Amino acid sequence: MRDPRYDILFEPVRIGPLTAPNRFWQVPHCSGMGYRYPNAEARMRGIKAEGGWGVISTQEAEIHPTSDISPANEARNWDAQDIPALRLVADAIHEHGSLAAIQLVHNGFHTPNRYSRMIPLAPSPALYDGNDPVQARAMDKTDIANMRRWYVQAAKRAREAGFDVIYVYAGHDMSVLQHFLSRRHNHRCDEYGGSFENRLRLFREVIADVRDAIGDRAALAVRLAIDELLGPEGITCEGEGRDIIAALAEEPDVWDVNLSDWSNDSQTSRFSDEGFQEKYTAFVKSVTTRPVVGVGRYTSPDSMVRVIRKGILDFIGAARPSIADPFLPKKIEQGRIDDIRECIGCNICTSGDNTCVPMRCTQNPTVGEEWRRGWHPERIAPLPAPEPALIVGGGPAGLEAARALAQRGAEVTLAEAGSEWGGRVSREARMPGLAAWGRVRDWRLGQLRNLTNAQMYLQSPLTADDILAYGIPHVALATGARWRADGVGRSHRRPQHFIAEGAVLTPDDVLDGGAAAIPASGPVVIFDDDWFYMGGLMAEVAARAGHDVTLVTPDVMVGSFAQNTLEQVRIQRQLLSLGVRILPNQLLTGRGADWLDLACTYSGTTRRIDCAVLVPVTARLPVDDLWEALQARRADWADAGLRSVTRIGDCLAPGTIAAANHSGHLYARTYCEPGDPDKAPFRREDLATVY
């Protein structure tokens, strides 16, 4: 039964000619599925509708070939050929009574038009904002007239596809409309540039054009970046962000407000808290009577109620929390608060879009698999003839495998050698800024403790003899991985034996012991050949403990993969603020007790730096001793009643926590099913049936 405190979240809200069934609004977010995988895209959005989100939007939908964002896989609305794929999405959303929204976008100079090969358009001549050698040309009056027509045509196609809410988008520094609004980008001297009113002109015209195109058959939403976090150089919530909304206050049916650029809007939990955008968006309702949508990585229903009652928002906007738990609204409605799979704010989801593949989620292993594997985030088919399973290792893969297998009806025994659950999740969650990552462990423990067919044991190291003696037919080894201490990684493919000439700590030492594991005196050097978050974390721990720290990497920056999780700049900026010296483009060449020799990756030029303690953050090795021992005893399996032994998670291949979680879930979904190694384990899209 729903707690009456949350009744306000389930009130219907009028938006223009329509009524949203509740206050849960899945704002536009990328999925990596888009127009190339339309069935997968539709199923993913449809499951969110089933989960209770009142309004569900597409990702950005390109409106014309001059806004081709290839190879990114967003929605596409260039012409009538795109309507069937868009209709799939709208129909899937409508199936469960939700409103379907589509975000119409022309990206201006944000795209180099790699596929269409058309020249990008911008208010003024501008370089593409990536690293392609492409420049946008300034739009003339004909181009502006064309732009307005393209928005109208796209809006009409969206209505034909069945969408209820049509977005006009000016956010994230990714829209030509925002580029016209911006003094940084708009240097025109005609009626579309210069003064605030002139820079507002095209935005106002497009809003009016789209309004006329959709009439009273759909609601008009405007998504606006009200602060770019650039101070006077950009749009601010105290300045022109407020002025834009005041000038257009009643023109849309609903305002969707956020920060620009994307890395500001979707900050990770390492650098921001739940509701971090409120100080920027709180003013909006004071200058418009229209309902307001806003985001802030809200996962707590109490926080949601607070922002509604305080008059900050009318709708709880969400992207990442709706990915982590598509059924978040239903769980609140049904009084199942403890069952909410809370977003951890790690942004592994954004890495999917940034690497042009279907997204993944650290908390929700079913995302991206809804259509191609037929996975549902809440339901999993019971086993026709459940057979007992032993899961060895209580980290993310082991916890998820045990939870999902028990949900399927198997008798599950989960044995963890250590004194705490969570494995690497618990250890990493103790690092600076990563406390929210503990939710991966906590949710699974909460689910397991409510299942009578799951037995859990800590401080239970097992040997091959133990496992054979138990007579449990199926065993999954989720024994994790350990960081290497010999320098082998991306750049050094062979052990660098000279490393041992001085003191060496692995990330495992620091994860286990914290800053206390680092000797009290002498410079600390982090050698980061992992290129994600761990090298920066090690440097941060050491610097916060007062050590003299240098981070060395063969890469051109700290944690380059973190660009895909939108946090690389914040990581490097934070290290610099802590006094960490950063030496990019450097390999290891020699070591003494108190020094380290480096060589430039380009020139080979060598240098020597002081180093009392070296922390190599390189590759990891699976902890597969138990696997090897059981393989050596295969002749004894049949007599012991052992039929299968499977490695999962980092024990199979070290990767992200999301990958470990997915691996554990995959094991449970395919339990006792034979696999065909020559056949793709999932459905593939047949676009001929869609377009």
| Strand duo 292-294 + 315-318: pairing | parallel
CA distance 155 to 34: 18
**CA 28 to CA 319: how far, in whole Å?**
7
Class of domain 484-620: alpha beta
Q: pLDDT tens for residues 632-652?
A: 999 999 999 999 999 999 999
Nearest to 537 by CA among 225, 268, 185, 217: 268
The C-alpha atoms of residue 260 and residue 269 are separated, in whole angstroms, by 17
Distances (CA, A) of 42 to 99, 253, 362, 491: 14, 25, 21, 41
| Model confidence at 680: pLDDT above 90 | no
Q: What is the pLDDT of residue 215?
A: 94
Beta bridge partners, 135, equal 127
How is the chain split into domains, by residue range? 10-260, 389-480+623-669, 484-620
| DSSP label of 145 | H
Q: Cα separations (Å) of 177 from 107, 151, 202, 206, 440?
A: 8, 11, 7, 9, 39
Q: Tell me the pLDDT tens digit for each residue of 406-440.
A: 999 999 999 999 999 999 999 999 999 999 999 99
In this prediction, residue 159 carries a pLDDT of 98
Over the stretch 28-59, which tens digit does the pLDDT of each residue have?
Answer: 999 999 999 999 999 999 999 999 999 999 99
Return d(Cα 512, Cα 418) in angstroms, integer: 12
Architecture of domain 10-260: Alpha-Beta Barrel (3.20)
> Rounded mean pLDDT of 575-600?
97
- Look up 339 and say whether it is catalytic: no
- Residue 687 pLDDT greater than 80, yes or no: no
Q: Is the pLDDT of residue 157 over 80?
A: yes
The pLDDT of residue 418: 96
Find the angle CA(454)-CA(455)-CA(456) to the nearest 5 degrees. Answer: 115
For residue 399, give the H/E element and its range. Answer: helix 396-407
- Could you read off the pLDDT of 615-625 as tens digits, one per residue? 999 999 999 99
CB neighbour class for 600 (10 Å; exposed up to 12, middle 13-18, buried from 19): middle
pLDDT at 175: 96
Give tens-digit pLDDT for 305-323: 999 999 999 999 999 999 9
* Contact between residue 137 and residue 119 where contact means Cβ atoms under 8 Å apart: yes
Cα Rg of the chain, angstroms: 27
Cα distance between residue 485 and residue 495, in whole Å? 9
Q: Is the peptide bond before 584 cis (omega within 30 degrees of 0)?
A: no
Q: Tell me, what DSSP letter sits at residue 156?
A: H
**Residue 610 backbone dihedrals phi, psi, to 5 degrees:** -70, 140
- Answer whether 535's CB lies under 8 Å from 528's CB: yes
Q: How many CB atoms lie within 10 A of CB 309?
A: 9
Read off the pTM.
0.96
What pLDDT is attached to residue 20? 98
Residues 357-415: pLDDT tens digits? 999 999 999 999 999 999 999 999 999 999 999 999 999 999 999 999 999 999 999 99
Residues 6+ apart with CB under 8 A from 483: 506, 507, 508, 616, 617, 618, 619, 620
Percent of the chain with pLDDT over 70: 100
* Residue matched to tokens 């920066």: 536
pLDDT at position 676 is 81
Classify residue 183 by its DSSP letter. T
Would you say 509 and 482 are in contact if contact means Cβ atoms under 8 Å apart? Answer: no
Task: Look up residue 262 and give its two tokens.
Answer: 């994307």
Q: Is the peptide bond before 82 cis (omega within 30 degrees of 0)?
A: no
Cα angle value 345/351/353 (rounded, 5°): 120
What confidence category does residue 164 fall into, taking pLDDT thresholds of 50, 70 and 90?
very high
> Which distant-in-sequence residues (6+ apart) come within 8 Å of 201 by Cβ?
180, 191, 192
Condensed to tens digits (0 to 9), the pLDDT of residues 505-523 reads 999 999 999 999 998 789 9
Distance CA 499, CA 505 (A): 11
Q: Are 84 and 691 in contact (CB under 8 A)?
A: yes
Tell me the residue ranges of DSSP E strands in 419-552.
454-457, 474-477, 481-483, 503-504, 524-528, 549-552
Q: Pick from 529, 549, 497: which is nearest to 620 by CA?
A: 529
Catalytic residue, candidates 128, 169, 192, 298:
169
**Active site (annotated) includes residue 96:** no
The answer to whether the beta carbons of residues 156 and 63 sit under 8 Å apart is no
Interval 166-172 mean pLDDT: 96
Distance CA 580, CA 583 (A): 10
The pLDDT confidence band at residue 493, using thresholds 50, 70 and 90, is very high
127 forms bridges with which residues in the sheet? 135
Cβ atoms of 551 and 466 closer than 8 Å: no
| 3-state SS assignment for residue 565 | coil
One-letter amino acid at 183 equals R
pLDDT at 675: 77
Q: What is the mean pLDDT of residues 140-165?
A: 98
Average pLDDT, the chain: 96
Band the pLDDT of 25: cuts 50, 70, 90: very high
Q: State the fold for domain 389-480+623-669.
A: Rossmann fold (3.40.50)
Distance CA 219, CA 221 (A): 6
Question: Is 594 considered catalytic here?
Answer: no
Which one-letter amino acid corresponds to residue 42?
A
Q: What is the pLDDT of residue 679?
A: 84
**Of these residues, 243, 253, 265, 314, which one is catalytic?**
265
Of the candidates 529, 550, 553, 546, which has an alpha carbon nearest to the alpha carbon of residue 609? 550
Whether the CB-CB separation of 536 and 575 falls below 8 Å is answered with yes
Q: Which two tokens stand for residue 158?
A: 């969206």
Task: Name the nearest CA neighbour of 454 among 399, 393, 375, 396.
Answer: 399
664/400 Cα distance (integer angstroms): 5
Q: Which of 29, 64, 110, 172 is labelled catalytic?
A: 172
Helix (H), strand (E) at residue 234: none
Q: Measured between alpha carbons, how far is 662 from 286 in angstroms, rounded to an integer?
A: 45
Question: pLDDT for 321-362, tens place per residue?
Answer: 999 999 999 999 999 999 999 999 999 999 999 999 999 999
Q: What residues does 208 pair with on adjacent strands?
A: none
| Pairwise CA distance, residues 41 & 335, whole Å | 29
Helix axes 38-50, 83-94, angle to 10 degrees: 20
Q: Would you say 406 and 381 are in contact if contact means Cβ atoms under 8 Å apart?
A: no
Give residue-wise pLDDT tens across range 87-132.
999 999 999 999 999 999 999 999 999 999 999 999 999 999 889 9
Grouping H, G, I as helix, E, B as strand and the rest as coil, residue 591 is strand
619-644 core/surface letters (b: 16 or more CB in 10 A; e: else): bbebbbebbeebeebeeebeebebee
* 3-state SS class at 224: strand
* Alpha-carbon distance values, 561 to 568, 571, 586 (Å): 8, 11, 18
Angle CA 343–399–481, to nearest 5: 95
Q: What is the pLDDT of residues 188-241, one digit of tens each?
A: 999 999 999 999 999 999 999 999 999 999 999 999 999 999 999 999 999 999
